[in-house]
Chains A and B, each alone.
Chain A
Amino acid sequence: MRHFFRRKSSKEVAKDRLKILLISDRVNCSPEMMEMIKADIAKVISKYMKIDAKSMEIQISKTGSKGGRGMRTPTLYANIPIIDLNQ
């Protein structure tokens, strides 16, 4: 029973896959490149504070302009959990 509850529904799998896929489709930027950007950002921030590089997330989304999806202004969002500010 516990196994049943823990399993992700196939719909969730599809949604997660699509989200990642569409980010790279929309910016013409491969998932590998996103990983490289992520690693580089982590390296720079780590110079100044201790961060949780494993659970950090980056994504390119397109908000900012008024037209529904706002395709014209892509923005890079980075979500970087800080472990210790005063390193």
Chain B
Amino acid sequence: MSEVIVVTSGKGGVGKTTTSANVGTGLARMGKKVCLIDTDIGLRNLDVVMGLENRIVYNLVDVVEGNCRIKQALIRDKRNPSLYLMPSAQTRDKSAVTPEQMIKMITHLREQFDYIILDCPAGIEQGFRNAIAGADRALVVTTPEVSAIRDADRIIGLLEAEEFKQIDLVINRLRTDLVKRGDMMSASDVVDILAVSLIGVVPDDENIVISTNQGEPLVGNGTPAGIAFQNICNRVLGKEVPFADFSKGISFWTRVSGIFHKV
């Protein structure tokens, strides 16, 4: 049975695309057949984060408009044979696709994939409506900042109104040094406020910048963020993974990433 997950946040720049790329890659590495869909029409990014920007021929709008078959638009990942990307159109805008068309396309994709991951655009307008239309569950990404949390709350409200069965929270870019100092909300502070189940905490990690530069998701590669995304993938699959204690400070992580930098 396939599952359709929308990755959303409300606010821009909190890590939706990074989360989509890493969760998709992680699930594919665990043997699942995964389709990533970039639903941000006009501002596509998932292709560059995945390092697949040179392979795009057709896109999501071509599929819904019937210019090509679904299969022609799907790009196979460089490293993971069970991972595919459906890129979005760069030269069109959100109104090129309707929620009904999205549902129709996803219904077809469900037959071929175990997981379909939709990277949602920022905002709560048509792009958001398109992205959530065909989804079963949601990953809401936020950072421990007032603006991102406020937007996440709004999004969660909208998802609940759409009767989403499962809404899980990803807290991204947590800085343990600031939390320790009392200058950043901790993961439990954020969960307290949003009252939604937590599926992962991703520490602020410079390796994300490096991985995006290279177009290679870092899930599972031993970096702090890589480990965190791997844990999220396991939890998506329903496995119990204990949460790392980020309140203890960064010394351990700094040491770990220090080793990797030397190598």
Contacts and interface: CB of A to CB of B under 8 A. Distances in A.
Interface of A: 9-12, 14-15, 17-19, 21-22, 25-26, 67-69, 71-72
A26 B193 CA distance: 12
A9 B157 contact: no
A17 B183 contact: no
Interface residues of B, number: 25
Interface of B: 145-146, 149-150, 153-154, 156-157, 160-161, 167, 179, 181-186, 189, 192-197
Contact of B146 (A9, A18, A26, A72): A18
6 contacts: A9-B183, A14-B146, A22-B150, A22-B193, A68-B196, A71-B161
Nearest to B160: A71
Given A69-B156, A71-B160, A10 B183 contact: yes
Interface residues of A: mostly helix, strand, loop or mixed?
A: helix
A71 B157 CA distance: 7
Contacts of A67: 160
A15 B185 contact: yes
Given A69-B156, A69-B160, A15 B193 contact: yes
Contact of B157 (A12, A26, A68): A26
Contacts of A69: 156, 160, 194-196
B150 A68 contact: no
A69 B185 CA distance: 20
Given A68-B196, A69-B196, A71-B157, A18 B150 contact: yes
B132 to A, nearest CB: 16
B185 A11 contact: yes
A14 B154 contact: no
Contacts of B182: 9-12
Contacts of A71: 157, 160-161
